[in-house]
């Protein structure tokens, strides 16, 4: 049984996607055209009350949001250690240094109490160089955004949501991507809303920020041969935008199915040593990943492999223990919650086309582990 299978998705929406791609090719316009504008408008309507700017990837979406808020070389940006490396790659690309804060033991998202401790300790030293905070909506569950945004306002920090795994997730009745000052989405093919290559989007609360982002994504260009600011090349192309427009109407039904699968896993998995995902008010989990924890994660993964079930550890090495970020000067023990989770987390198959019998089989395999 595969961990994911985009061929099954194609069987559901392939006709719509093929028609969308054919339309772009027949038109002969492939960059910054009407398909991108159509998707930006549609995704803005889906999220509500934000402007959407299509860009080249989720990583570049975070980078561009940081650029738009004025982050530059020598600045500092706070995020978590148990995220995908692309989150901090974007911070580095903006010239900033990541400051890490440990996560809540139950949700594995940014711990607001630890965020406050960090900011109170570092703000007197760093002053205005402490610019932003990037809470990560992990696995499809939003971070605890109200206290995080309260702290950010108190200390004049910009909030950039990493919503790469949060399409349709909600916090207190608000969708991920509409809570912070900016937000970054990824449309990598495996995401809840994915294109057929790299793609991303930045959301902004006001039109002036959106206009700035549109310049930044296109070499800082306002109009041809006029460049008011320094920018980069990060544009969501017309084919990917058309594919996303074709798939967006399916997203709510796909989310409902993911939540049904997660509920079924919760009912069927009886192995007492397996910790299942925590979902608490005011959040709405969209289960980009269904992640369990087990103290013998590697043995459980091997057992599932022997049963023919695909599984992946997201993410087995925290940021501060990656060789690329050795310059942070942090060692094992710096973030005990994130480090413990990294040795225990295991993602099970979850995608909308997964059959009920397959869900039951995965649960049966876990229940037979006896670890």
Q: Is the pLDDT of residue 46 over 70?
A: yes
Architecture of the domain whose range is 251-367: Alpha-Beta Complex (3.90)
pLDDT in tens, 48-87: 989 999 999 999 999 999 999 999 999 999 999 999 999 9
Q: Is the pLDDT of residue 292 over 60?
A: yes
Does the CA dihedral 198-43-82-139 come out positive or negative?
negative
Specify the pLDDT at position 89. 98
Identify the bridge partners of residue 185 per DSSP, sorted by sequence position. 201
Q: Domain ranges in the chain?
A: 6-101+109-249, 251-367
CATH 3.20.20.70 fits 6-101+109-249, yes or no: no
Q: Of the ranges 155-159, 207-211, 227-231, 280-284, which one carries the lowest mean pLDDT score?
A: 280-284
SS3 content of the chain, % helix, strand, coil (to 5): 45, 15, 40
Does the CA dihedral 119-120-122-123 come out positive or negative?
positive
How much is the mean pLDDT over the chain?
Answer: 97
Q: What is the DSSP string of 209-222?
A: HHHHHHHHTBTT-S
pLDDT average, residue stretch 28-42: 98
User: What percent of the chain shows pLDDT beyond 70?
Assistant: 100
- List, in sequence order, the alpha helices (H) in the chain: 6-27, 34-47, 58-68, 85-93, 112-126, 145-154, 207-216, 238-247, 251-268, 297-306, 336-342, 356-367
Cα separation, 340 vs 236, in Å, equals 37
pLDDT in tens, 164-195: 999 999 999 999 999 999 999 999 999 999 99
Cα separation, 259 vs 254, in Å, equals 9
Sort strands 158-162 and 182-186 into parallel, antiparallel or unpaired: parallel
Which among 265, 292, 262 is positioned nearest to 352, based on CA atoms? Answer: 262
- CA of residue 89 relative to chain centroid, distance: 14
pLDDT in tens, 220-262: 999 999 999 999 999 999 999 999 999 999 999 999 999 999 9
- Which residues, at least 6 apart from 109, have a Cβ–Cβ distance to it below 8 Å? 80, 103, 135, 136, 137, 138, 141, 142, 143, 144
Q: Is the pLDDT of residue 214 over 80?
A: yes
Q: Which band of pLDDT confidence, cut at 50, 70 and 90, is reported for residue 370?
A: confident
Q: Which band of pLDDT confidence, cut at 50, 70 and 90, is reported for residue 371?
A: low
Does the CA dihedral 41-44-45-49 come out positive or negative?
negative
Q: Which band of pLDDT confidence, cut at 50, 70 and 90, is reported for residue 159?
A: very high
pLDDT in tens, 95-119: 999 999 999 999 999 999 999 999 9
């Amino acid at each position: 049984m595969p961990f994911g299978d985009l061929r099954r998705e194609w069987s559901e929406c392939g006709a719509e996607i093929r028609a969308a791609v054919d339309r772009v090719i027949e038109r002969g316009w492939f960059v910054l055209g009407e398909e991108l504008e159509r998707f930006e408008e549609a995704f803005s309507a889906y999220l509500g009350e934000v402007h959407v700017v299509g860009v080249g990837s989720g990583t570049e979406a975070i980078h561009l949001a940081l650029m738009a808020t004025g982050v530059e070389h020598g600045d500092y940006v706070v995020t978590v250690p148990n995220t995908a490396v692309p989150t901090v790659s974007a911070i580095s690309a903006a010239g900033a240094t990541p400051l890490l804060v440990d996560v809540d033991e139950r949700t594995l998202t940014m711990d607001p109490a630890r965020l406050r401790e960090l900011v109170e300790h570092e703000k007197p030293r760093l002053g205005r160089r402490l610019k932003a905070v990037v809470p990560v909506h992990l696995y499809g569950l939003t971070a605890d955004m109200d206290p995080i945004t309260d702290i950010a306002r108190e200390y004049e920090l910009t909030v950039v949501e990493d919503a790469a795994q949060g399409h349709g997730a909600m916090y207190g009745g608000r969708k991920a991507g509409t809570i912070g000052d900016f937000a970054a989405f990824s449309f990598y093919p495996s995401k809840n809303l994915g294109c057929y290559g790299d793609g991303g989007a930045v959301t902004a609360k006001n039109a002036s920020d959106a206009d700035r982002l549109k310049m930044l994504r296109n070499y800082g260009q306002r109009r041809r041969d006029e460049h008011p600011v320094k920018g980069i090349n990060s544009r969501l192309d017309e084919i990917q935008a058309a594919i996303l427009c074709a798939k967006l109407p399916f997203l709510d039904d796909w989310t409902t199915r993911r939540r049904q699968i997660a509920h079924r896993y919760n009912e069927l998995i009886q192995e007492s040593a397996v910790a299942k995902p925590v979902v608490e008010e005011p959040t709405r989990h969209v289960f980009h990943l269904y992640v369990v924890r087990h103290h013998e994660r590697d043995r459980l993964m091997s057992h599932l492999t022997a049963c023919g079930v695909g599984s992946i550890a997201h993410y087995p090495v925290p940021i501060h223990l990656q060789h690329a970020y050795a310059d942070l000067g942090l060692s094992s023990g710096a973030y005990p919650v994130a480090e413990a989770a990294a040795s225990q987390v295991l993602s099970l198959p979850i995608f909308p086309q997964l059959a009920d019998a397959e869900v039951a089989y995965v649960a049966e395999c876990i229940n037979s582990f006896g670890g």
